[in-house]
Structure 1
Amino acid sequence: MALYKTLTNNKNIFLEYNRLRKKIFSQLAPKDSEAIMYLLPWMLSVNHESVPGYIASIKHNFRVFNIETDNEIRKRETLFKKLFKIQTSLPVLKMTSQDLIIEGIYTIGSVGTISQTPSSDCDMWICIHKAEYGDISYAQFLKKVQRIQNWMDANLKMPVHFFVSDIEDIRRCNFGDVDYESCGSTQKKVLKEEFYRTCILIAGKVPLWWVCHDPLSPLNYDEVVKECQSAPSVYYDLIDMGNLDFIDKEESFGAALWQLNKSLTHPLKSIIKMLLLKMFLESPEGDLLCHRFRRQVLKQDQKPYSFVDPSIFTLISVLDHLQNLDAETFKLILQCFYLRYEIKLFSRRVTLKEENTLELFKKYDLDRNTIYELNRFSDWSYSAQVQFGKTIFMFLVKIYKDISEIARNVTGDVAPQDLTILGRKLSSSLKKKSNKIQILLRPLDTHNLPSLTIRAQEGIWQIFPENDFSSIISEKSDLVYCLAHLVWNGLYFPGLIRMLPNTTSTTMPEVINLCKKIKDVFGIYDVSSIEFENFLQPERIKKMLIISNFADDPDVSALATLRILTLNNWGELYIHTFNRSAKIHSFLENISKNPYYVRKYYYIPQNSRHGEKILEETKRLIFQHAVS
């Protein structure tokens, strides 16, 4: 009886906390949260030909646990039917004894917290007992989920990622397919810790871990599981997703490796997670942040319960752990948190973020002048943003070195191929190599990019922001390199670039045409889009763009200069420049030894008066060496 009372009391507090999380989610993303919190469970639980996710000849219908008692969903069914043009007045949501149950739908991450931003995505675990489904029903369920995913991709602003998760896998911390951003061998208990600390129960059962807590008399999780199993009708709405006692040092180190990898594209987000992992390594083994967070939420003994935001709780925990850092580094960390959460204190528009963080940043002495500067971060000069990006990345490297020192003898649980992938991925982004187009490190996904100016001076091409000659973005004797550098780093926009008068044959229309061609062929650098398997293979060329006679005299009637841009399977872009010499023959002969097919594209300046002839000559040269 005492156990039942404890679990029930904790469950009620958790559900109230969960309701407040949903309320924040609704305020921060009104339209999308409505679809995620109410429409999604309904779509998963109906099988109507007008509703996305419909499966013809379905073996068993699927139903989210207890959805038939969810008043918030049932009262919206009329609106859902109207959305999908269903004419019947009868309920579409039905239940039968043959339905296969979806145990729960949960978010993981920043949604419903002050760290949710307009660019946040929503990772969702759709949890089932896979063994109960059978091969046919499981395949149909995956198809249903994918069709609903496709509909949400097309109709929601917020990116939503579904991960169909087997409860047994979650218990065993087997997350090979659950975290699309990481490699399964390094994300186990770390991911479960994040799940328990940040999840929102969208629909379904309450995680047993969340209610298995008694501050006065510690509960044995396994014994509580047995008690719940012995009385399933009493504890029917709780689900055992496994306990979490500690996180191995090996795993924290491995997870830190992958956060460093992710920092190449999301440095502010990664810096927070790496500081958290560093705290895990430096803290007592069983003192997990999710344990502390659960205690904080469940310790309330009377209504109204005060809301505890997971992101604020995490931020305070990390900052308190780092109190002994030097003032400059501590201030940098505060700035990173402030920018990452997109807070704007002392501004005219006060949102939940400002209401909930004002006292926090006062406590840690982030001064007003710094706050005002951070509020106008989007108006910082390009060079100031780039410099801040470099500062952040250097700090990330320092955190990684600190973590490596702590765990220098701890690599046993990190799969060798993961370390190989990480090393090569970092190399592809950071290492300077001959002829390689270098990557700019960014603090945010976008820069405040002003108009750009191209200038030729004493045989050197320069590109700089507006008239700021001191902030050179790219500088080379070869203009094609400079243009490829702009495009590859996502800095080229045709309406934001001009060229100063010069004595060469280069024209602005040709610059725009070539930049468009480079972007069409190679896109923009994105290390996160490269399949991990590529880094387990040797470097090889995948694409070539052959550029003939760019910036040469339009009257030249033969092939004079040749630039070849090549993209390899590690996502590195190179430029090779040739006059008519033996070097180009040697280069092409080496490429011809590549056993894989290389896609080839050609570019001839549109102002060339002998373009067709030069193109044919270029193609003959390439095919002469049998480049596959």
Structure 2
Amino acid sequence: MADGEPNHHPLDSARDRETTAQIRARFHALNQSRLALAQMSLSERQCDALRLLPLLLHINHPRLPGFCGTAVPSGISQFDPDPHQLQLARKITPGFRYGGTRNRSNQLAALYVMGSVGTVAQGAHSDMDFWVCCESSVGPDDRQQLTDKTQRLSQWASGLGLEWHFFVMDADAFARGTLQTLTTESSGSAQHFLLLDEFYRSAILLAGQEPLWWYMNAANRARYSEQRALFQKTRFLREEQWLDFGPVCDVPPEEFVSAAVWQLYKAISSPHKSLLKLWLLEVYLGRYPQVLTLADKMKLLVYAGNFHPESLDPYLLLLQELTDYFVSRKEFDRLELMRQCFYVKLAKRYRDLTKPHHAPLRNALDEWLWNPIDFEHLDNMHQWNAQQVINERRKLTHELTNSYRHLLHMARTTSPNLELAHEDIGVLGRKLFASFERSSGKIERINMGISSDLQARYLLIEQEQNQWCLYITNRRWEKTRTPLIGHGQLAFVLLWAYCNGVLTPQSRLRWLTESAHQDLRPWLRCMTSLPLLPWHEARHDAFTRKASAELWVVLVNDPGHLPDFSFYSDRPETDPLNTSAGSLIRHLQLITRNSWGEIHWHNLGDSLAELIARFGDQQPRPGQMEVRSLSRVAATLIEQRLSQLLQRLHSLVDARLLLVNGDQIILWDGADSGGFDSVDALFCHLAKPRQRKTPWQLDNPDHLPDNLILLRGPAQFQTEGLQVFYRITGQHAEVLVHDECGSMVHFRTSYYQRDNLLKPLHHFLRAIVQRLPLDQHRWLFGIIPIQFYQWHDTGRWQQQHATSDISRLPLGRLHIAVLDMNDAPTAPGQWRLQAWLDHQAIEGEPMCRAIAAAVLACRSSGERYPVHITDLEIDACKRSLPVLGQLQSSHYLTVKVQLEAAINSAMQAL
């Protein structure tokens, strides 16, 4: 307790022992008055818990709340429990005896409670933020034990209807700028001086050492260190009686911006309170660089002789500060919004402010000259319907974003080289993105802690100008002027209404549309069975990394998007992706929830390929996936087939899967998945370069179309090296080369005889593999195996073993070097080429025509059967090719096919 009684004479800083004692008496008087006000808002049991808290931290007793071991740091400096505290401990633990801590060193410096406690803003449900200040000698492990104890105390308080948050603080470290890690409740490095300003003006000392800040002259903050040194030298107070968090210095512009980002994040759940703090930042930044804070103003008033809690209430000081600011700027609309936010933050009814200690607040509210209806409207905010909540949210978010932009502009004007590179700011930015960013298909959360229940008893859906509009109505079906939401897709409207708690199973829904009536019952049944509500609150650590899928719901065949269709099959092995009626998957929708708590809806139409591509990008786990069919047509069959397919995709690690869905070909290849409307488009994709060879699978080989039959080869023969798969169809041969990295080059060529097809191809492959970089760990002595397989109409492959005989057959050697593709690889007739036929250089232009003429001149029969290149150089044009690090066989084969087509075309023209 303070020495002596406080008086009201003006004081300077603590320049002598008498002045120091008077300052101490005044702050202690203010502290005790605010503590008494804090207890007026609590029940008897809650008051007892608050009184007992210092003792619970002072000692470690196994039968008292919060105990988690005798090694937890304890002993609060300058604290001895009073008889009332000991009596409360005995009520909890009969027979409790306090032995004191004289033989132990105190490891805790002080205990404070800060925020709205003991102010006009404290309500029955206000939370309390405690600073448990430990000595600098307490190590990290001991601090963690102390944190564990405070968490147990929070749980104990929760059972009493109290919301307690504890922050283990080291005053010396805080003064040096070492801040806590960002959490849901702690602003981390986002705030330092601004947090200190709030602490100094609102903290109530419950036990332990006093803030040195009480004794430092507020009118001369720049000499804080000098004043501290003098204070230590004169020893007006013993050094163990105070602790130092440092001064509230001139706040740097960077902190204004980071603090604004923090307040935007807090606005997700408490927008009115956050706006008040954002506006205060605006006031402060407008005074930069000499920022006189509210804490400094409060201390100046105490030094002037005013230490009455009603005139030093932090929230009433804030109200006056903001009022003066908006009036001076003649921003009366913002002034009115500020008053509304202040009243909502109070969480008290105007008509209930009848007790004597309510007089300062009621007097302040009376100055607004509001009508009682205005107060009553805000008193009933918890009962507002969705339309009112949307309007309020729109107004608040507009002011939140505008205020932030204004702060950012002011900060950049003040500090042109403003830099924000804190990791904490990145985390907060992701949280803001998840909560406020609007994007296509994202379900916007409209209730920012405004109303307690948005359920609408009567809802009306109406189709207006290609949009589905949802209205709140009454039992006479009289709709509101504006819809709650309008969207081109009915499913999105329903999902939005359900996720925001507007549409519930108890809601009555009426349908007004010119089109045929749609049955919404399948949709409603489906939504109510999905684990979407209550709204997912993301963990803080989730924002330290990229958002990941936590729930994947695939909805198939929404009746609202489909014309009537029917299907019947008594064959249990029927594949719904490929039936006589085509694919039974006619419409797909996807609902996702990610680790940031965002819910998205996607209309995929009939594109199973897009669903699979999204699966490859997001990679949901099997337990996070659900498939629901909204139509009764083969519902169970479709759900089972899609569920099995998605589970199979998840199990495919570094593997590719090909499936056919009706007329669409779909390739699963992780993040490179996609759908193809033609076989040519698929083979063009398969020819792209790859890093390495991966397993190849077919989803349902029995339903593979005839024009994809060669793809059975790579699925059946997964070996190293190169494999050549071919089949003969009349006078043509179809060839697929699976190269050493897994790329597949497909082409068709005229067929005369087997040797004419295989001999030049084998020679070409042997020539180009000599040009490839050798991996001695992969290939035996640098020899890359090449295998040939022929498809027979009997439905089987036959390996060709006569490759050695093939290589001994006589062959005209056509060697071509591509010097430049002129950035036009699709026009080989324009490329710059050099060519040799049986080691003789070929001259002439255009080169493709000259090559054709030279080959034709060597044929005694004069037949114009296809020309085959036996060797190829493409290093000079590597920059024109899609290369992943180095050239591979598929590059050579792709260029070979294009050049041969141009040469053969030129030969036919001769």
TM-score (norm 2): 0.60
Give the structure with higher Rg (CA). Answer: 2
- On the 8 A contact 2:64/2:89 being kept in 1, the answer is no
Specify whether residues 32 and 390 from structure 1 end up closer, same or farther in structure 2 by C-alpha distance, changes over 3 A only.
Answer: farther
The corresponding residue for 1:255 is 259
Residue 336 of structure 1: which of 341, 347, 369 is its match? Answer: 341
- Compare the two structures and name the one with the higher helix fraction: 1
In structure 2, C-alpha distance between the alignment counterparts of 1:523 and 1:616, rounded to whole Å: 28
Deviation at 1:446, TM superposition (A): 3.8
- On the 8 A contact 2:542/2:595 being kept in 1, the answer is no
Residue 156 of structure 2: which of 142, 145, 151 is its match? Answer: 151
Residue 111 of structure 1: which of 111, 117, 139 is its match? Answer: 117
Q: Secondary structure at the match of 2:109?
A: strand
Question: Residue 261 of structure 1 aligns to which amino acid in structure 2?
Answer: Y
Deviations 1:269-297 (A, max 9, x none): 11100000001101152412210011223
The corresponding residue for 1:29 is 42
Deviation at 1:550, TM superposition (A): 5.1
Residue 615 of structure 1: which of 610, 632, 639 is its match? Answer: 639
Deviation at 1:455, TM superposition (A): 3.4
Specify whether residues 476 and 589 from structure 1 end up closer, same or farther in structure 2 by C-alpha distance, changes over 3 A only.
Answer: same
Residue 288 of structure 1: which of 289, 293, 297 is its match? Answer: 293
The corresponding residue for 2:171 is 167
Residue 224 of structure 1: which of 228, 243, 249 is its match? Answer: 228
Specify whether residues 81 and 515 from structure 1 end up closer, same or farther in structure 2 by C-alpha distance, changes over 3 A only.
Answer: farther
Answering whether residue 212 of structure 2 is matched by residue 186 of structure 1, we say no
Q: Which moved more, 1:191-200 or 1:422-431?
A: 422-431
The corresponding residue for 2:793 is none
In structure 2, C-alpha distance between the alignment counterparts of 1:203 and 1:456, rounded to whole Å: 63
Residue 470 of structure 1: which of 461, 481, 499 is its match? Answer: 481
In structure 1, C-alpha distance between the alignment counterparts of 2:118 and 2:276, rounded to whole Å: 18
Deviation at 1:196, TM superposition (A): 0.6
- On the 8 A contact 2:58/2:76 being kept in 1, the answer is yes
- On the 8 A contact 1:454/1:461 being kept in 2, the answer is no
Q: Secondary structure at the match of 2:103?
A: coil
Residue 455 of structure 1: which of 452, 456, 461 is its match? Answer: 461
In structure 1, C-alpha distance between the alignment counterparts of 2:401 and 2:499, rounded to whole Å: 24
- On the 8 A contact 2:443/2:600 being kept in 1, the answer is yes
- On the 8 A contact 1:63/1:95 being kept in 2, the answer is yes
Deviations 1:486-507 (A, max 9, x none): 3433445444x12236865636
Within 5 A, what are the aligned runs for 1:314-393? 314-323=318-327, 324-345=329-350, 347=351, 350-351=354-355, 354-366=358-370, 370-378=374-382, 380-393=384-397
Deviations 1:316-357 (A, max 9, x none): 112112212233332222222122223433x26625785222
In structure 2, C-alpha distance between the alignment counterparts of 1:352 and 1:443, rounded to whole Å: 31
Considering Cα pairs closer than 8 Å and 6+ residues apart, tell me whether 1 or 2 has the greater RCO.
Answer: 1
Question: Residue 363 of structure 1 aligns to which amino acid in structure 2?
Answer: E
The corresponding residue for 2:888 is none
In structure 1, C-alpha distance between the alignment counterparts of 2:24 and 2:627, rounded to whole Å: 65
In structure 1, C-alpha distance between the alignment counterparts of 2:186 and 2:308, rounded to whole Å: 39
In structure 1, C-alpha distance between the alignment counterparts of 2:565 and 2:52, rounded to whole Å: 61
| Number of residue pairs aligned between Structure 1 and Structure 2 | 609
Specify whether residues 408 and 270 from structure 1 end up closer, same or farther in structure 2 by C-alpha distance, changes over 3 A only.
Answer: same
Within 5 A, what are the aligned runs for 1:353-502? 354-366=358-370, 370-378=374-382, 380-409=384-413, 410=415, 412=418, 414-415=420-421, 417-440=423-446, 442=448, 444=450, 446=452, 449-453=455-459, 455=461, 457=463, 462-467=469-474, 468-476=479-487, 478-495=489-506, 497-500=507-510
Deviation at 1:438, TM superposition (A): 2.8
Q: Secondary structure at the match of 2:626?
A: strand
Specify whether residues 607 and 262 from structure 1 end up closer, same or farther in structure 2 by C-alpha distance, changes over 3 A only.
Answer: same
Q: Secondary structure at the match of 2:165?
A: strand
In structure 2, C-alpha distance between the alignment counterparts of 1:585 and 1:304, rounded to whole Å: 71
Deviation at 1:79, TM superposition (A): 3.3
Specify whether residues 626 and 47 from structure 1 end up closer, same or farther in structure 2 by C-alpha distance, changes over 3 A only.
Answer: closer
Specify whether residues 210 and 281 from structure 1 end up closer, same or farther in structure 2 by C-alpha distance, changes over 3 A only.
Answer: same
Answering whether residue 31 of structure 2 is matched by residue 18 of structure 1, we say yes
Q: Which moved more, 1:292-301 or 1:442-451?
A: 442-451
Q: Which moved more, 1:275-284 or 1:391-400?
A: 391-400
Deviation at 1:39, TM superposition (A): 2.2
Question: Residue 339 of structure 2 aligns to which amino acid in structure 1?
Answer: L
Q: Secondary structure at the match of 1:322?
A: helix
In structure 2, C-alpha distance between the alignment counterparts of 1:601 and 1:53, rounded to whole Å: 41
Answering whether residue 81 of structure 2 is matched by residue 82 of structure 1, we say no
Root-mean-square deviation (CA, aligned residues, Å) is 3.7
In structure 2, C-alpha distance between the alignment counterparts of 1:81 and 1:536, rounded to whole Å: 49
Q: Which moved more, 1:196-205 or 1:564-573?
A: 564-573
Q: Secondary structure at the match of 1:120?
A: coil
Specify whether residues 450 and 414 from structure 1 end up closer, same or farther in structure 2 by C-alpha distance, changes over 3 A only.
Answer: same
Q: Secondary structure at the match of 2:588?
A: strand
- On the 8 A contact 1:544/1:599 being kept in 2, the answer is no
Residue 129 of structure 2: which of 99, 123, 130 is its match? Answer: 123
- On the 8 A contact 1:417/1:536 being kept in 2, the answer is no
Specify whether residues 374 and 222 from structure 1 end up closer, same or farther in structure 2 by C-alpha distance, changes over 3 A only.
Answer: same
Q: Which moved more, 1:207-216 or 1:108-117?
A: 207-216
Deviations 1:349-396 (A, max 9, x none): 625785222322343444555345434444555423421321222122
- On the 8 A contact 1:185/1:413 being kept in 2, the answer is no
Deviations 1:419-475 (A, max 9, x none): 544554444333332322233264726466542425365896544323334342234
- On the 8 A contact 1:6/1:214 being kept in 2, the answer is no
Deviation at 1:415, TM superposition (A): 2.1
Deviations 1:536-563 (A, max 9, x none): 53x5434212234455799977655432
The corresponding residue for 1:275 is 279
Q: Which moved more, 1:240-249 or 1:465-474?
A: 465-474
TM-score (norm 1): 0.85
Among the aligned pairs, what percent are the same residue?
20
Question: Residue 584 of structure 1 aligns to which amino acid in structure 2?
Answer: L
Specify whether residues 214 and 426 from structure 1 end up closer, same or farther in structure 2 by C-alpha distance, changes over 3 A only.
Answer: closer
In structure 1, C-alpha distance between the alignment counterparts of 2:505 and 2:356, rounded to whole Å: 38
Deviations 1:8-63 (A, max 9, x none): 2111111111112112211122357425522222222232222233244x347612
**Structure 1 residues not aligned, in runs of 5+:** none
